[in-house]
Amino acid sequence: MTTSITDTLHRPLRDLRISVTDRCNFRCVYCMPKEVFGRDFQFLPPGMLLTFEEITRLARIFVALGVEKVRITGGEPLVRRDVEKLIAMLSALDGLHDLTLTTNGSLLARKAAALKDAGLRRVTVSLDSLDDAVFKAMNDVDFPVARVLEGIEAASAVGLDPIKINVVVKRGVNDHCLVDMARYFHGKGHILRFIEYMDVGATNGWRLDDVVPAAEIIQKISAELPLEAVDPNYSGEVARRYRYTDGGGEIGVIASVTQPFCGACTRARLSSEGKLYTCLFASHGHDLRALLREDKSDEEIAAVLGTVWNNRRDRYSELRTKNTKPQHVEMSYIGG
Ligand code: SF4
């Protein structure tokens, strides 16, 4: 039986983002800068990670508390060995309406069919430019665009769509590529989503001046490919929706900096070592792994989750100022 719990701002718990690894094969400059996440960086040892059984048990408890959608994240989730097995375990959960995954696409061409067979519903792929030089500068590992596009094709071919394609926009880095991306994906059935550059974590050197506001992104694209606003699919949807007036499809903007959406935020995050975070910009989490490994019952764990959520008051993006000093956990640790 599902109960529904709300926080201090009357926001229900609906979405759970599960990070299955803090590792990644990219070093995107706005998420895992090489200077910090270099050769000597100490990633979580395997024994510290939740097992697939532990993740599935927690997900079952979250679903009983009202979670309807699970998103698998990382780091890069496809670098976690046999992640398809976890997908199969989660997709068997009663009451889970949606199961999706966010990836950098580097391994998608190889894994798409297995993920689909395991029960994955949809996939979101990060691709910050179609220009190889720009993309390589942003992922900082010289990974070519073509291989990510192959992954998108493979995912589409097995029916993991509509595919959402996330583009983090940083002024002076890839903002000159936006119209080209819109033209390329226009009419292809995928949903491009432009994301305002955020002060996630504490290592990406974020400055407000590097943010391209959503309004400017829309204006730039609409000048070439006219757009009109579309109503959200559901309350709490992260992206603001727009569609091409010529019927060429839909795009979205995620405007955490200039148009924050904390008022309808229904997302909880679970790190790969079992800590619960109630905001992307949180600085501390609640250790659920200890409860699992101390053999607490589902009821005892559910009570802890309920108390954490009931006391939640996060709305960082509404409170962020130009001078806010980020003390957040790294996005690569709790997933986007
Ligand atoms: S800043 Fe925190 S509370 Fe606001 S939308 Fe993002 S995750 Fe939710």
162-181 pLDDT tens trace: 899 999 999 999 999 999 99
Q: Whose Cα sits closest to atom 2 in ligand 1?
A: 279
The strand order across the sheet containing 191-196 reads 227-230, 240-244, 250-254, 191-196, 164-169, 122-126, 98-103, 69-73, 15-19, 267-270, 275-277, 286-287
Residue 235 lies in a domain: yes
Which residue segment(s) compose the domain that 151 sits in?
15-334
How many structural domains is the chain composed of? Answer: 1
∠ CA 73-74-77, rounded to 5°? 75
Average pLDDT, the chain: 95
pLDDT of 63: 97
Question: pLDDT tier at 1 (50, 70, 90 boundaries)?
Answer: low
The three-class DSSP label of residue 145 is helix
In angstroms, rounded to a whole number, what is the distance separating the alpha carbons of residues 93 and 57?
A: 10
∠ CA 186-136-269, rounded to 5°? 75
Residue 283: other Cβ atoms inside 10 A: 12
Q: Whose Cα sits closest to atom 4 in ligand 1?
A: 262
Indicate which atom in ligand 1 lies nearest the CA of residue 269. Answer: 7
Q: Is the CB of 316 under 6 A from ligand 1?
A: yes
pLDDT of 2: 74
Question: pLDDT tier at 26 (50, 70, 90 boundaries)?
Answer: very high
Statement: residue 326 has pLDDT above 70: no
In angstroms, rounded to a whole number, what is the distance separating the alpha carbons of residues 233 and 42?
A: 41
Q: Is the CB of 277 under 6 A from ligand 1?
A: no
Distance 326 CA to ligand 1 centre (A): 14
Residue 6 lies in a domain: no
Q: Is the CB of 267 under 6 A from ligand 1?
A: yes
Statement: residue 266 has pLDDT above 70: yes
pTM for the model: 0.95
Indicate which atom in ligand 1 lies nearest the CA of residue 282. Answer: 2
Strand stretches in the chain, DSSP E = 15-19, 69-73, 98-103, 122-126, 164-169, 191-196, 227-230, 240-244, 250-254, 267-270, 275-277, 286-287
Residue 9 lies in a domain: no
Query: Prior bond to 46 cis, omega within 30?
Result: no
Question: Which residues is 196 bridged to in the sheet?
Answer: 169
pLDDT of 104: 98
Statement: residue 333 has pLDDT above 80: yes
Question: Which residues is 98 bridged to in the sheet?
Answer: 69
Residue 108 lies in a domain: yes
The 10s digit of each residue's pLDDT in 190-245 is 999 999 999 999 899 999 999 999 999 999 999 999 999 999 988 888 999 999 99
Residue 283 lies in a domain: yes
Question: At 82, which CATH number?
Answer: 3.20.20.70
Residue 186 lies in a domain: yes
Distance 308 CA to ligand 1 centre (A): 15
Query: Prior bond to 75 cis, omega within 30?
Result: yes
Distance 168 CA to ligand 1 centre (A): 17
Residue 5 lies in a domain: no
Residue 197 lies in a domain: yes
Distance 318 CA to ligand 1 centre (A): 8
Which helix or strand (DSSP H or E) is residue 147 part of? helix 145-157
For the CA atoms of 124, 130, 132, 134, the dihedral, rounded to the nearest 10 degrees, stands at -90
The 10s digit of each residue's pLDDT in 66-102 is 999 999 999 999 999 999 999 999 999 999 999 999 9
